[in-house]
Amino acid sequence: MNTYFNEITSAPVNAVGGKILYKIPAGAFSGNGDLGVVFDNDETDLLLHISKCDFWKFTPGAHKDGGIKTVGCLRIRNVDLSEYNIKQYFNKGLFDCRFGNAELEFFIAPENLICFEIKTPETEKTPEISIELPETCDSINSSSERNGIESFCRKFSGSNLERESAVSLCLRKIETNVTDGFCVSRYCVSVVTNFDASDYESKSFDMALNCDYGTCKSKTEEKWEKFFSASKINIDDKEIEGFYNSSLYLLASCMGNKEFPPGLFGNFITDDFFPWAGDYHMNYNYEAPYYCVFSSNHPELFDGYMTPVNEMKEDAKKFAGFFGCGGYAFPVSFGPKALDVYSQENCKEHGILFLGQKSHAAYACVIPIMHWFATYDKEYALENYYDFVLNTAAFWEDYLVKKNGRYVIKGDAAHEIPYYRGEKFSHLSHIGQINTINAINSLGLVKMLFDAVYDMAKELNLNPEKYPVWEDIIANLSDFPTFIKKGKKCFRYSRFGIRWRDDNTVGLQHIYPASQIGLSSDKKLLEIAKNTYFINDRRLDDNGSNSYLPAGARLGVDPDFVIEGIKQNIKEFGMPNRLFRHHGGGIEHLTMVPATINEMLLQGHEGVIRLFPCWNKNSDASFENLRADGAFLVSSSLENGKITSLKIKSLKGRKCKTDCSDIKNVIRESDNTEIPFSKGTEFITFETQPDESYVLI
């Protein structure tokens, strides 16, 4: 079975009884990392919604008309939609479409060229192609024609905007041929914004004029074949394996613009009115899509993540100052180029939407910290994120309160205080949230933050004056709060404030993604974590299944329970186009399947490479080049309940420790030489060299 393939056999349904089914598009989606196209239709025509990661309206202020906007729509008339079939080949980046009277080949080339070929019987009416621009949100639209190429421009401009944004589209009919009674026409659409080039209209025209269909197709296939060659899994459940691969495709389809990484809805934008302006929500939503990228061996997808984070540094200093602290602090959300989507006059916290939380910048550090441990790329860290991590730690050095020898977090809500604004806001009714002490998610994030900044600084030989401070915080940060629920000791959401919520996974995020509890943890702590995990089954959580399911793998719970959770999500929320119709955001749930499966097959976050740590040993499985912390690429096979192969490539030459204790020999692959290793009751340890592979037998 080809698990890089998906077939859609009916037209998308975006509404029932005239009511729109939220904003997750139902039609087939294709993207190249920047440009995205969603298939749709109205009563008569085939529609292709075009969006791009960097096309935003830069209106400042919360809940204004700013945010990411659609570029336009490609309308194809005279297509019989009574028959509908779209085959998606993810590892080639190609769509093969069959309709009642037409065949359509479709792809998006790496150079931001939409290319398609339409084949119809010579006796049928020829499909008509046009581009439509939305006339909403006060956009300035224009069009022209030159040398047979139609040009369109959509622009947002005005003194009320933080900056101008504009996009140019050019539609060209490349060629038409009649062969064996069929008419075959090829088209291209170029899409260029003012952030791509100052002369964006000229560049768009030149791209369309010089488009070579065959070359673009070859480059597209090469791009996706290379992407999927970086790693792979092979499991018995091919439905899950298919969603694993399609999820990686969909994530990579919107993670290619290094200046404009994806917001809540990526580049799946079909109109100008997506929720929350499609912004960067910093209390898990922005971070969640990246949970799986390192373990899947796609660190390149991280390359744009830090851009908007670093663009907020000056504002972050100001926000930290509001709380009497140095370093960096973040509001709940913002947009690219430090777009203000957080200012609101009647907000109780300095007119800024912090919503009672101080942990947003710490959460923003989760993904660069994952990158650090997965790559140990010192140069990259120094250039991209060490300063941000260091200054976020500086905020917490000032904000933490030391009481009776332990560091305490005060006034940091475990959850957003959603009505922390407006004349009708009742301070008394939210007193517990406002005066929260030791929110468990913040404790986990802060512990992860100081562990990581300490490790980075030592590896980079920087900031030794901070070591005693960090060591003291790491050693004396408050324990995770607990209480008795249903007769079992569980984690409490905060020491003072919210005890428990039945509708989310915040009480488990110190386990994942903050990585503070795992299979090497104290047995009593691990038992408390499992009690908490099972007392409220959140496998179908609208916001948190992407952290709940990987957390189960980290704890080593029954693997069948976790697999059942994945299958439930596919059944309840999986759509024909392989997106998930959850409420919490558009792209964050795409990480759920690959992040969970990767954690079930391989773990390395505690300094130990664990093979199949949460896997039903009666189910054969294998993987190639999954990435473990310490900068190791691991390949292994499980057959008939036994590990039959294991190869570890060391990228940085760090010491390797693995739980495969029955190993007899470690062979350096380059010269087929046995190397020494130490063996304990559970683990073996051996020294490695950079860019060297080792076969363990």
- Mean local confidence (pLDDT), 332-355: 92
- Which pLDDT band holds residue 149 (cuts at 50, 70, 90)? very high
User: Of all residues in the chain, what percent carry a pLDDT higher than 90?
Assistant: 88
Tokens of 69: 């906007």
pLDDT tens digits along 121-145: 988 888 999 999 999 999 999 999 9
- Mean local confidence (pLDDT), 441-469: 98
Predicted structure pTM score: 0.97
E strand intervals along 9-109 = 15-16, 19-20, 29-31, 35-41, 46-52, 56-57, 67-68, 72-77, 84-89, 94-99, 103-109
User: Does CATH number 3.30.420.40 belong to domain 621-696?
Assistant: no
**pLDDT reported for residue 472:** 98
User: Where does CATH 1.50.10.10 sit in the chain?
Assistant: 279-294+311-500
Q: What is the mean pLDDT of the chain?
A: 95
Q: Which of 251, 90, 325, 295 is nearest to 588 (CA)?
A: 251
| 576 prior amide bond cis, ω within 30 | no
Judge whether residue 18 has pLDDT over 90: no
- Mean local confidence (pLDDT), 351-370: 96
- Mean local confidence (pLDDT), 209-214: 98
Rounded to an integer, what distance in angstroms lies between the CA atom of residue 260 and that of residue 462?
30
- Which pLDDT band holds residue 420 (cuts at 50, 70, 90)? confident
Judge whether residue 179 has pLDDT over 80: yes
Q: Which fold has domain 279-294+311-500?
A: Glycosyltransferase (1.50.10)
Rounded to an integer, what distance in angstroms lies between the CA atom of residue 462 and that of residue 129?
59
Beta-carbon contacts of residue 334 (< 8 Å; ≥ 6 apart):
279, 280, 282, 308, 312, 315, 340, 341, 342
CATH label, 5-232, candidates 2.70.98.50, 1.20.1560.10, 3.30.750.200, 3.30.565.10? 2.70.98.50
- Which pLDDT band holds residue 20 (cuts at 50, 70, 90)? low
More confident of the two residues 420 and 192: 192
**pLDDT reported for residue 21:** 58
Distances (CA, A) of 229 to 8, 295, 298, 485: 25, 14, 10, 47
User: Where does CATH 2.70.98.50 sit in the chain?
Assistant: 5-232
The CA dihedral of 553, 559, 560, 563, to the nearest 10 degrees, is 40
User: Where does CATH 2.60.40.1180 sit in the chain?
Assistant: 621-696
Q: What is the DSSP letter of 481?
A: P
Specify the range with the lowest mean pLDDT, choosing from 14-18, 499-503, 692-696. Answer: 14-18
Tokens of 683: 């683990």
**pLDDT reported for residue 386:** 98
- CB contact at 8 A, 118 and 185: yes
**pLDDT reported for residue 16:** 59
**pLDDT reported for residue 688:** 98
- Mean local confidence (pLDDT), 637-654: 97
- State the pairing for strand pair 678-679/684-686: antiparallel
**pLDDT reported for residue 653:** 98
Q: Which of 543, 549, 615 is nearest to 584 (CA)?
A: 543
- Mean local confidence (pLDDT), 608-626: 97
Judge whether residue 481 has pLDDT over 60: yes
Rounded to an integer, what distance in angstroms lies between the CA atom of residue 688 and that of residue 697?
16
Judge whether residue 394 has pLDDT over 80: yes
pLDDT tens digits along 282-332: 999 999 999 999 999 999 999 999 999 999 999 999 999 999 999 999 999
Rounded to an integer, what distance in angstroms lies between the CA atom of residue 163 and that of residue 159?
8
Single-letter residue type at 596: T
93-97 contacts: CB < 8 A, separation 24 or more? 93/30, 93/32, 93/220, 93/221, 93/223, 93/224, 94/217, 94/220, 94/221, 95/28, 95/30
Reduced to 3 states, what is the DSSP secondary structure of residue 579? coil
**pLDDT reported for residue 423:** 76
Judge whether residue 582 has pLDDT over 90: no
**pLDDT reported for residue 9:** 96
> What residues form DSSP beta bridges with 168?
153, 192
- Which pLDDT band holds residue 635 (cuts at 50, 70, 90)? very high
pLDDT tens digits along 22-64: 588 999 999 999 999 999 998 899 999 999 999 999 999 987 8
- Mean local confidence (pLDDT), 669-678: 96
Beta-carbon contacts of residue 600 (< 8 Å; ≥ 6 apart):
553, 559, 562, 612, 613, 614, 615
- CB contact at 8 A, 300 and 99: no
**pLDDT reported for residue 586:** 86
